[in-house]
Homo-oligomer: A and B are copies of this chain.
Amino acid sequence: MKFKVENLRTRKQEEVIYITDTVADFISVSGLKEGLCVVYCPHTTAGLTINEAADPSVASDILMELGRRIPFQDGYAHGEGNSAAHIKASLMGPGVTIPVRNGALQLGTWQGIYFCEFDGPRNRSFSISLLSDIE
């Protein structure tokens, strides 16, 4: 399995970072033609999502609305003060699985892959796994 860890530095408490090109570049370098691409986030206060890449206000609307529904302070038991970030991470999920055909990610026209920071700024990472198929 082709596998790579990518590091990134987030700059704000909450931020959505476009990582599609990083993922696509690894597929090109790896030579994978047919298979699955799994992008995985190893953090518990960050997650991954796929959404519109053309207008960055879509990503900011996602952060705004998640923030309205999951307040930073809400009588949480966890003592570190970042329970909202943990909850948002579970709502977005820790990973996405995308088909690869003819060496290309099968994303839709408007789709981009986003790293979702909910408790930054921090040094973060994500992994890219490429699983080939024999047939």
Interface residues in chain A, defined as those with a beta carbon under 8 Å from any beta carbon in chain B: 1-3, 34-36, 38, 40-44, 49-52, 55, 57-58, 60-62, 64-66, 68-70, 74-80, 83-84, 86-87, 89-99, 101, 106-111, 127, 129, 131-135
Contact = CB atoms under 8 A, between A and B. Distances in A.
Contacts of A96: 93-95
Contacts of A90: 49-51, 62, 92
Nearest to A93: B93
Q: How many identical chains are in the complex? A: 3
A93 B39 CA distance: 14
Main secondary structure of the interface of A (DSSP, over half): mixed
Given A40-B97, A44-B51, 15 more contacts: A36-B131, A40-B106, A42-B106, A42-B108, A42-B111, A43-B110, A44-B50, A44-B52, A44-B111, A49-B93, A51-B86, A51-B89, A55-B80, A61-B86, A68-B74
Contacts of A69: 69-70
Contacts of A135: 1-2, 132
Contacts of A64: 75-77
